[in-house]
Amino acid sequence: MMKKVKPNIPLVDHIYTADPSAHVFEGKIYIYPSHDLDHDGPSNDNGDQYAMEDYHVLSMDDFDSPCVDHGEVLHIKDVPWAKQQMWAPDAAFKNNTYYLYFPAKDHDGIFRIGAATSSNPAGPFIPQENYIQGSFSMDPAVLVDEDDRAYMYFGGLWGGQLEKWQTGSYDPNGEGPAITEPALGPMFAELDDDMLSFKENPKEISIIDEDGNPILAGDEEKRFFEGPWVHKYNGNYYLSYSTGTTHLLAYAMSKNPQGPFVYKGTILTPVLGWTTHHSIVEFNDKWYLFYHDASLSGGVNHKRSVKYTELKYNEDGTIQTIEYES
């Protein structure tokens, strides 16, 4: 089945927001987006057009309530190890503490993932002095499972530098696999109980087809590019992600949070703008997809806006594709 979604009103229009990570905390919907800046800098495959330097938190009591901007909750000037480009964040709750996870380039120009903490889901957040040891690339997403174990998924190609870490250390000349080779998957690491460090070295997640064969790098409608998100529904783990060059949100399923994940299909067809980045959350027994497009700016890739739509499952647990109409 295909659901069609027309460009709707952005959650907020006084600032540009993207990469929404939505959660239900304290009975309300909290959204942790990146904050696009309006500027005239260069645009390239390294993502220099995405010059974000702070985070705001948005919230709604429910979907009939106005969206509240709680203001700036963290700025790059307050993060000792970070130099530039605070891209897509995520948040989690454990230990009676709210954690904000975010990527940024360090002073050597290498993407790392940091953490900040707060007693309030709306912030402000106090950053740790250093990034999470062993972290790299971008787009952190954290799942706190029913057994209270917490997992981080992360990674992105091109500007996200994931292909530069294939040897286990940073290679500035690293390139991705050939089109006939298995595509790079997102990275996975279990978090320590303090939620501020990894229990283990990150490992790559495998995405395979129904026959058990790895998705190939040349299959750009199915392969992972960036923006991993994992949620759980009826005992299944769903890994959803952006395919990048083909501008789809795709997903795969597994019974294990570490995978392998079996590719299943498309969640959302291409939106207006180059990037697509999302989250999936349950609220009052319904499921919702949060995403962004560039409709507010007329298609400018680094001036995006957060939106949402209802997401529905088929009886077999697969997700109904949502068709974006421009």
Which of the residues 139, 163, 226, 293 is marked catalytic? Answer: 226
Among 27, 131, 43, 19, residue whose Cα is nearest residue 79:
131
Q: For strand 261-268 and strand 207-208, is the pairing parallel, antiparallel, or unpaired?
A: parallel
* Distance of alpha carbon 125 from alpha carbon 305, whole angstroms: 23
Residue 192 DSSP label: P
SS3 157: coil
Residue 190 known to be catalytic:
no
Polymer length of the chain: 326
Distance CA 15, CA 150 (A): 32
Characterise 105 by phi-psi region: left (phi > 0), alpha (psi -120 to 50), beta (else). Answer: beta
Beta bridge partners of 143: 151
158: three-class secondary structure by DSSP:
helix
Q: Kindly give the pairing relationship between strand 305-311 and strand 286-293.
A: antiparallel
| Residue 45 a catalytic site member | no
CB 222 within 8 A of CB 263: yes
Contacts of 316 (CB under 8 A, 6+ apart): none
Q: How far apart are CA 40 and CA 48, in angstroms?
A: 11
C-alpha to C-alpha distance for 208 and 111, rounded to whole angstroms: 27
Active-site residue (options: 19, 53, 90, 139) = 19
Instruction: List, by residue number, the catalytic residues.
Output: 19, 226
